[in-house]
Amino acid sequence: MMNKLIFGRYMPGDSFIHRLDPRAKLLASFYFIGIIFLANNWQTYLLLAVFTLFAVSLSKVDMKFFIRGIRPLIWLILFTVALQVLFTSGGEVYWHWGIFNITQFGVLNGIFIFCRFVLIIFMSTLLTLTTPPLELSDAIEYLLRPLKVVRFPVHEISLMLSIALRFVPTLMDETEKIMNAQRARGVDFGEGSLVQKMKAIIPLLIPLFVSSFNRAEDLATAMEARGYQGGEGRTKYRVLHWHNQDTMVMGAFALLTVILVVLRG
């Protein structure tokens, strides 16, 4: 079921990107999504594409997995591109029918939107493929820390996040198991009418909820038994280290921004 999904999964490896501090990677990915909107012409998009491909090559992950990451989103991308192409006016008109028209600006906009989507997906796939989920949640906790000032429950949120991340694969396994058990009892998942399909989900959903409740109870008991009392006064086992290479990455992004601003004119 989840076999085809690459986006959001971690692939162990040892590369420059793998060794970066997760905070640097997280910040960089968000920053990249921000500056991608600075791009507005051929030169800027080309620059971003080259930059992204360079980052991808640094990760030593096979290119085809990035391309596969686009697959689940391809219809959304094509739909947006089609809307842009068909409804943007301006420039030379190539084709016209009723309210639809294909124009020079429309085609250009469509291509830009397409590039924007692909680059964003590549960058976020790069982040998740090279960063273990737990490191990612550590990074989020660290970056949210300033929000403590406004009484934002940073520790609780990050605890929930790391528990949630930890149990995603467990729950997936469980889903698969219960699905198989119900299929063995004669349930057809994904067959028949919409109503039938929805009815077939019940024998999967209820056991999943029940086991989640049970698991939550067991986990809470086990945590309490091990002396967990909340966020105050805890020390950390996994400590993040910021190295020179992380500063370098930040520098590269600053440089990229400057060039982008210059090139967009």
Partner 1 sequence: MDIHFEKVNFTYQPNTPFEQRALFDIDLLIKEGSYTALVGHTGSGKSTLLQHLNALVKPTSGSVQIGDRKITPETDNKNLKPIRKKVGIVFQFPEAQLFEETVARDIAFGPKNFGVGEEVALEIAKAALIQVGLDETYLNRSPFELSGGQMRRVAIAGVLAMKPEVLVLDEPTAGLDPQGRKEMMEMFWQLHKEQKITIVLVTHLMDDVANYADFVYVLEKGKIVKSGEPREVFQDLNWLKEKQLGVPTATEFAELLSEKGITMSELPLTAEELADEIVRLSGGIAHDE
DSSP 8-state secondary structure symbol assigned to residue 95: E
CB of 193 to partner 1, least distance (A): 15
Contacts 24+ apart (CB under 8 A), 244-247: 245/16, 245/19, 245/20, 246/20, 246/21, 246/23, 246/24
186 binds partner 1 (CB under 8 A): yes
Q: Which is nearer to partner 1, 174 or 256 (CB)?
A: 174
174 binds partner 1 (CB under 8 A): yes
What part of residues 66-85 is at the interface with partner 1 (CB under 8 A)? 68
CB of 180 to partner 1, least distance (A): 5
CB of 199 to partner 1, least distance (A): 11
Instruction: For residue 96, give every residue at least 6 positions away whose Cβ sits within 8 Å of its Cβ, in sequence order, or none.
Output: 102
Q: Which stretch binds partner 1 (CB under 8 A): 49-57, 130-138, 184-192, 255-263?
A: 184-192
At 203, list the tokens: 């024998």
| HSE-CB for 239 with a 13 A CA cutoff | 6
* CA separation for the pair 71, 58 (Å, rounded): 23
**In which element (H, E) is residue 8 found?**
none
CB of 182 to partner 1, least distance (A): 6
User: Considering Cα of 15, then 66, then 22, then 57, what sign does the dihedral take?
Assistant: positive
Q: What is the identity of the amino acid at 69?
A: G
Tell me, by CB under 8 A, how many residues bind partner 1.
28
What part of residues 196-255 is at the interface with partner 1 (CB under 8 A)? 202-203, 206-207, 210-211
58 binds partner 1 (CB under 8 A): no
At 173, list the tokens: 């396994």
Q: Which is nearer to partner 1, 154 or 179 (CB)?
A: 179
8 binds partner 1 (CB under 8 A): no
62 binds partner 1 (CB under 8 A): yes
Quick one: which of 41, 180, 221, 247 contacts partner 1 (CB under 8 A)? Answer: 180
Quick one: which of 86, 157, 183, 259 contacts partner 1 (CB under 8 A)? Answer: 183
At 149, list the tokens: 């000032």
Closest CA to 187 of 205, 209, 204, 211: 204
Q: Which is nearer to partner 1, 155 or 183 (CB)?
A: 183
At 186, list the tokens: 């004669």
Q: Which residues bind partner 1 (CB under 8 A)?
A: 3-4, 6, 9, 11, 61-62, 65, 68, 174, 177-178, 180-188, 191, 202-203, 206-207, 210-211
